[in-house]
Structure 1
Amino acid sequence: MKIEQIYTGCLSQGAYYIESNGEVAIIDPLREVQPYIDRANKDKGKIKYIFETHFHADFVSGHVTLAEKTGAPIIYGPTAKPKFKAHIAKDGEVFVLGEITITVLHTPGHTLESSCFLLKDKDGKDYALFSGDTLFLGDVGRPDLAQKAANMTKEELAGILFDSLRTKVMTLSDDVIVYPAHGAGSACGKNLSTETIGTIGEQKKINYALRANMTKKEFIQEVTDGLLPPPLYFPLNAKLNKEGYENVEDIIRDAVAYDTETFEMVANEIDVVILDVRHQDDYAKGHIPKSVFIGIDGNFAPWVGTLIPDIKQPILLITPLGREEESILRLARVGYDNTLGYLKGGFDTWKNEGLEYDTVNSISAAMLEELLAEIDGEKEKVFVFDVRNKGEYAAEHIVDVASTPLDNINDHFVEFPKEEEFYVHCTSGYRSMISASILKARGYHNVINVAGGFNAIKKTDIKTTNFVCPTTLK
């Protein structure tokens, strides 16, 4: 028996490859499926089953394409109603894989069709639980994502999740291994661990949601408390996972490598977003006017999903050389399939041909400290904006600085000065550069980025506080 966790850090997502006696099962595959096929071929195995723990909202799964390529059935738990051919398993249904078995445990609550898959070894002993979004390490799946589909409140779904955990999960032996669908960084829960493999026993000790003496009322309160709004692309991804989608290989193949003249023509004639995915320092030194920065080496997919709400939005890419296909794939993983193409040769081609480009001015934290210092007993008026999230801001921020979180920056445009220079910062510089790119695209060319962000600011003598100031400037 082989179990391999295939973890994708940019999505905080774990897919699983299981093999026994030449028979293979894949659980929650990514959209690009050839690696699973190649892995099975390496083991001289055949993919027999494709298990889906639920209709994922945070990424587009590879189940449909993998089934088309291998002929393996897609298996969901009870109540799932996909628009494509699939086997809807009964609660407790057993699937034989070589010398082992996989049992479906229907565990609704995160979504109504959510299920865990219990692997039993060749001796029939419970060995591992593939828990999907029902149970994470340190947390459980948020119960507010499926409210509309279920026609229920998040409190009602949380109550169902409480029962699922206590009747199906917490009854398992402490030594059963837990393989969750997500780790830290996922928006599918609140407080996920950085660890990606654990045990039932560990979770009973450390996971707040599995406290033995917890009442259902307490569970509902704690699970629903402090939930941030989900990214706007979540229901769109869930729809693709339920109804089907285009093969990602076709999307990559159809993307065009544009020369500068055609790139500019397409950008001017179609309502496109020019998305620059290079490093923020490269973007600051030079970029195509009105292009938006979201760096591929940062928290790429969640910010694309947050800031480009329409997954059908036409996109033109500026990428690091050699990373064009990767960028298209990374967009498609979260349902952004309408990438028209990319600038051949990247930004250097644009610059070398003498075409107009823009820059982002930056200052160091030390320079910001000088600006904020008192001059002749009176503090010079300096406009600084903190684009970190509300929790980071509440924990510590510069005294008298406004909170204008990146995830809802559109609500704060009125607060940014039109004429005076102003400064934006995040934690390290990634999110503030995204903010600066959006502001410049809206005509705020007086924005200045604070290089190094709050990490650098804390090394200066700039006064900070953890007292929550008003969220906006008056």
Structure 2
Amino acid sequence: MRWATGGVNYSYLLSKLAPPSMTSANWIIDPAEPLEVKDQLSNHELHSITTIVNTHHHYDHAGGNVAFATLLTQRENPSFIIGSTLSATLSTSKVTQPNDGQIFDLGHNITVEAIRTPCHTQDSVCYLVKDSEKDDYAIFTGDTLFTAGCGRFFEGTGEEMHSSLNHILDRTNGHWDKVKVYPGHEYTKSNVKFIRHMVWKKIGDNKAFDHLEQLVLNTEVLTGMFTLQDELNFNPFMRLNDPFVRKAVGDDNNTLSEKDVMTKLRKLKDNF
């Protein structure tokens, strides 16, 4: 959404649609620009949506909730799954504010676990999807985890972001190489530029990051291309004890706590 104006937002359809009936119960995640999202959906897809889901309350994620609901002409009162009352909903609809660890059963062997990740906002929620039949995983991370980055600490601290990212890892332990990451924005190019300038400054300092940098040169849409294991390999916000990361924040002697490294690293990114 809004790529032409620099917004580079993602909205996602979590769908189980299958022929021949093409009917199901599906989620639309962060449809902030209703008309743009609608134009990307077939009539079958649009009419199958039962639930509007937000990763957090910011307008570029939740601002289209009510307007999008009016587009669902086949379903007058779609359900909402939101992190807090800060996201607008229809008063006549079922509204869920999920607890950490709450499981939603979408059928067809697909479940979604809500993972509370307060920091960017206090109501931030990541959604971990599991297809038990295929042993496939995906996580929709909103503005908590980006490819090679993390969100700003608008309502939280470095300690909270560090805790939230580790909370994601704890909930996905044993499956990091299978969990594909779907963030709320396409910030990879700017993240790569920052990392090359401030952290792994030379080719060979981090081979996984070198590969990402080359991929970014010729790829615009990178969502879903990387796993949590990839993030552990090239995302400095998930490698707080890496000597290059420590050096970047001025901790050559390795004396800072991980939360302090997180805080200083994000400050560097904010000022970059």
Which TM-score bucket, shorter chain as reference? 0.5 to 0.7
Q: What is the CA-CA distance between 1:56 and the residue it aligns to?
A: 2.0
Give the secondary structure class of the aligned counterpart of 1:116: strand
Q: Residue by residue, what CA displacement relative to the aligned partner does 1:99-148 show, whole Å, maximum 9, x if unpaired?
A: 122211111111100110111114384510001000000100010x33xx
User: Is 1:181 paired with 2:184?
Assistant: yes
1:96 to 83, 86, 105: 105
Q: Deviations over 1:259-300 (max 9, x none)?
A: xxxxxxxxxxxxxxxxxxxxxxxxxxxxxxxxxxxxxxxxxx
SS in 2 for 1:20: coil
Query: How far did 1:33 drift?
Result: 4.0
1:27 corresponds to which of 4, 12, 29:
29
Give 1:167 shift: 1.8
Normalised TM-score (structure 2): 0.66
The alignment of Structure 1 onto Structure 2 pairs a total of residues equal to 212
Say whether residues 1:72 and 2:78 are aligned partners: yes
The residue number in structure 2 matching 1:109 is 119
Aligned to 1:227: 270
User: What's the Cα RMSD here?
Assistant: 3.2
Q: 1:17, 1:25 within 8 Å by CA — same for their partners in 2?
A: yes
Alpha-carbon offset, residue 204 of structure 1: 0.4
Looking at structure 2, the residues matched to 201 and 74 of structure 1 have their Cα atoms a distance apart, in angstroms, of: 31
Alpha-carbon distance between aligned partners in 1 of 2:60 and 2:231, rounded to the nearest angstrom: 24
- SS of residue in 1 equivalent to 2:146: coil
User: Which residue identity is paired with 2:157?
Assistant: L
Displacement after TM superposition at 1:212 (Å): 6.3
Distance 1:9 1:43, change over 3 A: same
Q: What is the deviation of 1:159? A: 1.1
Structure 1: 5+ residue runs without aligned partners?
1-6, 147-155, 229-390, 392-474
SS across alignment from 1:95: strand
Q: 1:60 offset after TM fit, Å?
A: 6.4
Compare CA radii of gyration and give the structure with the larger one: 1
2:16 and 2:26 in contact (8 A); partners too: yes
Decide which of 12, 16, 20 is 2:12's aligned counterpart.
16
- Name structure 2 gaps, 5 residues minimum: 18-23, 196-215, 243-257
**Taking structure 1 as reference, are residues 16 and 183 closer, same or farther at Cα in structure 2, changes over 3 Å only?**
same
In the alignment, residue 116 of structure 1 is paired with which amino acid? C
Written as runs of structure 1 = structure 2, the 5 A alignment for 1:142-291 is: 142-143=152-153, 145-146=154-155, 157-169=157-169, 171-172=171-172, 173-174=175-176, 175-184=178-187, 191=194, 195-197=222-224, 198-211=226-239, 213=241, 215-228=258-271
Q: CA deviation at 1:218?
A: 1.1
Does the 8 Å contact 1:120/1:128 carry over to 2? yes
Contact 2:125 2:141 in 1 (8 A): yes
User: Shift of residue 170 of structure 1?
Assistant: 5.8
Give the Å deviation of 1:225. Answer: 2.6
Shift of 1:43: 4.5
Cα deviation, residue 171, structure 1: 4.9
What is the 5 A alignment of 1:344-355? none
- Checking the alignment, whether the CA contact within 8 Å between 2:30 and 2:62 is kept in structure 1 is no
Output the CA distance in 1 between the equivalents of 2:97 and 2:134: 24
Give, as a single letter, the amino acid of the residue that structure 2 aligns with 1:213: N
Q: Deviations over 1:377-412 (max 9, x none)?
A: xxxxxxxxxxxxxx6xxxxxxxxxxxxxxxxxxxxx
Rounded to whole Å, the distance in 2 between the matches of 1:129 and 1:165 is 12
**Residue 209 of structure 1 aligns to which amino acid in structure 2?**
F
Structure 1 residues 72-117: Cα deviation after superposition (integer angstroms, max 9, x where no partner): 122113x554454432111122222241222111111111001101
